[in-house]
Structure 1
Amino acid sequence: MGAIMADRRLTYEFEVDGTVCRTRDPILDGRQIRAAANLSPPADFRIVEIRNTSTRAIALEDRVHLDANHRHCFRSAPGDRTYSFLLNDAECEWPQETINEAEIRAIGKVDDDLDLVLDGDIDRVIERGKDINLGGKAVERVFTRPSMRTVTILVNGREKEVARGTISFEALILLAFPTPPTGPNVSFTVTYRKGPDGNPEGSLTAGHSVRVKNGMVFNVRATDKS
């Protein structure tokens, strides 16, 4: 009996959309979890629990056994359905029609040196920070693989292999001109297209960089105003 009383004095923590909730009850149902997170009316919200590199939907009457040594994490969204996807063949459910690459990485505890890849006729790397749509007819399949250390870009029509990540204005000038023209009247312009989603085209100026992707096209021009 004493052991039971000791258990009841424990504080159990869980997190809903980043907000930490606390309770002394070791077992909560889906309705109570929604109420603790001020999701009202509870029936208008879907929630999923993130656990063991996968997720599961929690209905109103589903019971969750809380662990005093582990903070359970939930994600919620208004709506009347959840969406499914596979992450390395683990079945996952999500309360929104879209999910961000960072959320998938967190769910699967995916190391930063691995790529998330969307399975399809042509496998496609999910770019950092990009959303994918889960509302299609087929269940999306996501898998991980070692990141490519380099990407291939075009600089003034010539293929160049560069390190994955960002590239600077100054580095692009050296790729375009191994021996750049010099002089007080020489200036350079750098423009690009086929860039990453959210930043597909634009220009660079001295001291600035841009994230590169395979097939990105750069035009680097030198102008002598003398």
Structure 2
Amino acid sequence: MKDTEKGADLTTASKSLPLIIEGKNFDWGKQYITGREVRDLVNASEEVELFLAIKKPWEDELILDEDRVDLARPGIEKFFFKDILLLTINDKKYKWYEQYITGKQLKELAQISLEDVLYLSIKKPWKDELIDNETSVDLARPGIEHFFSKQVDREIMIIVNGKLKSWNKRKISFEEVISLAEGNASSEQKAYTVTYLKGPKQNSEGEMAKGDIVFVTDKMIFNATPTDKS
């Protein structure tokens, strides 16, 4: 008779609940299992993160040590681990789970403009490496890769209340939109509603409130509507 896997602790086979960890079948004697208990079943390293497989197109679920998963739900729950690869972009830490990452993926990860210039930091006296959007970088090399970006300011045209306006920055504030719409600072007797369309991926459309800042792209549309204060 085949031995039950660690963690079964069963009195009868009918009480077992199946689960799969990295393709291997296990039985569990309770309705719920924690992330820590899943790790212990396979002696998983602390350097990897645990995920619960979710049917596409939904994303797999990160399972922390204290999280509980209900094994009594329909179907068999499948768990797997992902190696963590660390990197920094503009001094902020990020995680990645694949060996390679492209310049485009780096920019999307850090939510910076695809038009910005991206570099891989190289130890001096060697020059920093330019990373194009299509360039693939191996993150599995020794050490942590450090990236940094530089904004490229260029003149673009945006549309504010139906009129073309010249703009030379990668971002625009609520107050700057109002200034372009009115030609001067906003009146103290007015409040404003600002909406935008056809923006870049970081903010394709939406509303702005006082103090908000959004990325801009060529031919982006803004509508600033004054509203008398009550």
Q: TM-score, normalised by structure 2?
A: 0.38
Larger Rg: 2
Q: TM-score, normalised by structure 1?
A: 0.39
